[in-house]
Structure 1
Amino acid sequence: MSDFRELGIIVYGATGYTGRLVCEYLNGQYGVNGAVNWAMAGRSKEKLIAVRDELGLSENIPLVVADADNADSVREMVARTRVLITTVGPYQLYGSDLVAACAGAGTDYVDLCGEPAWMHEMIAAHGDAAKASGARIVFSCGFDSIPFDLGVWFLQEAAEERFGAPMPRLKGRVRVMKGTFSGGTLASFKATMAAAARQPEMVKLLMDPFALTEGHAGVEQPSGMAPVYEEELQSWSAPFVMATINTKNIHRSNFLLGYAYGKDFVYDEMLLTGPGQQGEKMALAVAEDKSMAEDPRQPGEGPSKEERDAGHYDVLFVGSNAEGQTIKASVKGDKDPGYGSTSKMIAESAVCLLQHPGNVPGGIYTPAPAMGGLLVERLQKNAGLTFQLED
């Protein structure tokens, strides 16, 4: 990005629950007006001041007023910064003008989106503009889908080094997940379900694992929708609620990486529930759980700091090939996935783009092809994630 920008990073949605956590993290990790040079943005200057003071942040942090319902204010905001973080969802309701503005202005963009129908729409509408302007638009820079997308990338890099080829079959299995989904994630889920009810054709897109690969379809994929006992893992596996978005993002990563995982790549995600009758019982209970659709939490609500700090997660990845070779890797996070870890991941994604302006050309990305090992290194150094191979 050759043109001068006043700011390095703007956090849009800074007065919301997750936005506040992002601001706290940037302040603690990078200070004020240093190399990162970040600002807080939202609809109300008075509320921005109140939140800044409530968090004990410096008065030197710039405040930017912008409203998602006012396209002119959005364009003015993105023209001031090199990277925009937005935590304002559901993105299908509040994100379209932001993506359009960033793609047009050459401003890099990161979000927490888990809304594949909207992402599909944005790729079609603004992909060419982002390529032309140099804007790197990176969706899904939180728990969906960084640990999964980069976990697959990490394993495949190791497989290339060990075996000289990627693993054509890869399983993502959540071993531990202590914490809650964010109110924003729940709102996005409900908005997507409401949109699908109005537009039945959207259901087909939501069910398609290759919905984000721009017309390029791969081989048939497992559904992951029913409990199954996996002999090699000695455990029952249950459907994992975030697999619907993560699998789409991982297939998009493979597509954007020039099919680095292979054109016959097969991937699915499930939740490990343990062996025996107890494991089976838990897997069945998970499969029948409808609580997410009924959860009353709204965006802006979340757990206490003590609850965030007590959370953590552990995801196992198992790769295999026709020759019987296998390789395992894991990704672990030290905070609850929906808030504590997510706020650190999106902040580090933005800083990664800021500090590596020429690593990839403009376009609409997922985390792995946009940042790959650069982001893995940052997350391990700063954000409490660990990526490791397992015997």
Structure 2
Amino acid sequence: MAGDRFDLVIFGATGFTGKYTVKEAARLAKEKSISWGVAGRRKEALEAVLKEFAPDFDNIPIIIADVNDEESLKKMTEQAKVIVNCCGPYRFFGEPVVKACIATRTHHVDVSGEPQYMERIQLEYNKAAQEAGIYIVSACGFDSIPCDLGVIFTQQKFEGEVNSIETYLNTWKTENAAGGAAIHYGTWESAVYGLAHANELRELRRKLYPEPLPDLEPKLKSRGKVHKSALSTGYSVPFPGADRSIVIRSQRFLYEKYKQRPVQIQTYVTFKSALSLMATAIVGLFFSLLTKCECGRKLLLKHPKFFSAGFVSHEGPKPETMENTHFSITFKASGWTEKLAEPTDKHQEPPNKDLITKVSGVNPAYGATCTALLLSAITILKEADKIPDNGGILPPGAAFAKTSLIEELNKNGFKFEVISSIEK
């Protein structure tokens, strides 16, 4: 890559996630000695974001680029070593940026939690990214760095062979947290279109992965629609986000690349009370039904606050709400103390070891997301030699398993920890 490029350029810097990515870039730039710029459609808006979120920096480069203007995207990407893409929904706006990055040999990270987009891009552009020698890594935010790298962390700490992992997500607010919306409209919009097009995934995966993963025993079964667990206080249900699909993609890559036994995964989210579970279920039911038709989708997008019971707004959450929102994901790994020679070899005894780990932090949707996104970009800059294949489209666990990203996250607001280890 050309030596005169900026290390990072944040594209979509005037959006809700983009603004907080700028704020985090201002913090990390001094610590990591990186050069960076911002990009978007309107110079005045970009100047206003820099003034508000990076007031201690003078003369941050501003690049004008529009997803509907291919040449402007190429002019932007050729000025960066890594594009930090905050311009979603990626279903609509992601592909042109990926194409520009491939054309100009520029790495790319984003915070997509849209499986259809991510898997289609991998199917259609992985070979081109490899030939260009660049990495395209999606899901570098709350979807799905804590879960995907949490699984990698758990495998590294297990000291044996992991058969299965169950994860439990908890979020909570401290007493002094402000009320109001918790999610910005852009996240809601991505979810609307993601669920509406979920039927695309089966055919995509058939093309992307013609060979099935090995048949592993004992099989990890879902615990059903609602259950209680000793790992998480409250009522747990299957987590509807992208975490499970991201982990499966990473585990498949590690199996195919390194002949590592792939972990079976089930992901859950816990509600503290039956009332909160019922309220969420009602909202989810209406959401699911309305995404099935165009008129329903229009209603969801026109009235997000109403259909989310106040959880979503165009303004997004207040800063005090974000800073007083906490999360944890608890991982229960089950497996064996001994590792067999081949990943498909069958153990003669049932699993004889459990390991409990946890990943936790603050402000998952925007603070932790922006930190993880930028540290992912910086890891590509500084540790490309530890990322496999010299290029390609990878999920985070596959890309960063052998890097220091977990260690860097631990220094910047995340906590990866071992809770207990039990041999049976």
TM-score, normalising length: structure 2: 0.79
How do 1:70-219 and structure 2 match up within 5 A? 70-159=69-158, 162-163=159-160, 165=161, 167-178=162-173, 180-195=182-197, 201-202=199-200, 204=202, 214-218=209-213, 219=215
Asked whether the equivalents of residues 177 and 337 of structure 1 are also in contact (C-alpha less than 8 Å), the reply is no
Q: What is the RMSD computed on CA atoms of the aligned residues? A: 2.8
Distance change (3 Å), C-alpha of 1:367 and 1:300? farther
Structure 1 match to 2:2: 3
For 1:213 and 1:222, locate their aligned partners in 2 and report how far apart those are by CA, in whole Å: 24
The one of 241, 246, 249 aligned to 1:249: 246
For 2:378 and 2:168, locate their aligned partners in 1 and report how far apart those are by CA, in whole Å: 29
Which letter maps to 2:396? P
Structure 1 residue 253: Cα displacement = 0.6
For 1:100 and 1:352, locate their aligned partners in 2 and report how far apart those are by CA, in whole Å: 22
The one of 370, 378, 384 aligned to 2:408: 378
Q: Please say which of residues 36-45 and 297-306 is displaced more in the overlay.
A: 297-306
Asked whether the equivalents of residues 122 and 394 of structure 2 are also in contact (C-alpha less than 8 Å), the reply is no
Which letter maps to 1:43? R
For 1:292 and 1:147, locate their aligned partners in 2 and report how far apart those are by CA, in whole Å: 29
For 2:186 and 2:222, locate their aligned partners in 1 and report how far apart those are by CA, in whole Å: 26
Counterpart check, 1:323 vs 2:323: no
Asked whether the equivalents of residues 174 and 314 of structure 1 are also in contact (C-alpha less than 8 Å), the reply is yes
How do 1:301-320 and structure 2 match up within 5 A? 301-320=315-334
Distance change (3 Å), C-alpha of 1:45 and 1:282? closer
Which letter maps to 1:189? A
Structure 1 residue 362: Cα displacement = 0.2
Asked whether the equivalents of residues 170 and 270 of structure 2 are also in contact (C-alpha less than 8 Å), the reply is yes
Structure 1 match to 2:304: 296
Which letter maps to 1:255? R
Distance change (3 Å), C-alpha of 1:306 and 1:169? same
Structure 2 match to 1:353: 380
Structure 2 match to 1:338: 365
* Bigger-Rg structure (1/2): 2
Structure 1 residues not aligned, in runs of 5+: none
Q: Please say which of residues 113-122 and 253-262 is displaced more in the overlay.
A: 253-262
Number of aligned residue pairs: 370
Distance change (3 Å), C-alpha of 1:328 and 1:36? same
Asked whether the equivalents of residues 105 and 134 of structure 2 are also in contact (C-alpha less than 8 Å), the reply is yes
Distance change (3 Å), C-alpha of 1:50 and 1:323? closer
Structure 1 residue 288: Cα displacement = 4.2
Structure 1 residue 386: Cα displacement = 0.3
Which letter maps to 1:193? L
Asked whether the equivalents of residues 238 and 268 of structure 2 are also in contact (C-alpha less than 8 Å), the reply is yes
What percent identity do the matched residue pairs reach?
A: 27
Structure 1 residue 385: Cα displacement = 0.1
Asked whether the equivalents of residues 156 and 261 of structure 1 are also in contact (C-alpha less than 8 Å), the reply is no
Structure 1 residue 57: Cα displacement = 4.8
For 1:364 and 1:316, locate their aligned partners in 2 and report how far apart those are by CA, in whole Å: 28
Structure 2 residues not aligned, in runs of 5+: 174-180, 288-299, 306-311, 336-349
For 2:125 and 2:223, locate their aligned partners in 1 and report how far apart those are by CA, in whole Å: 31
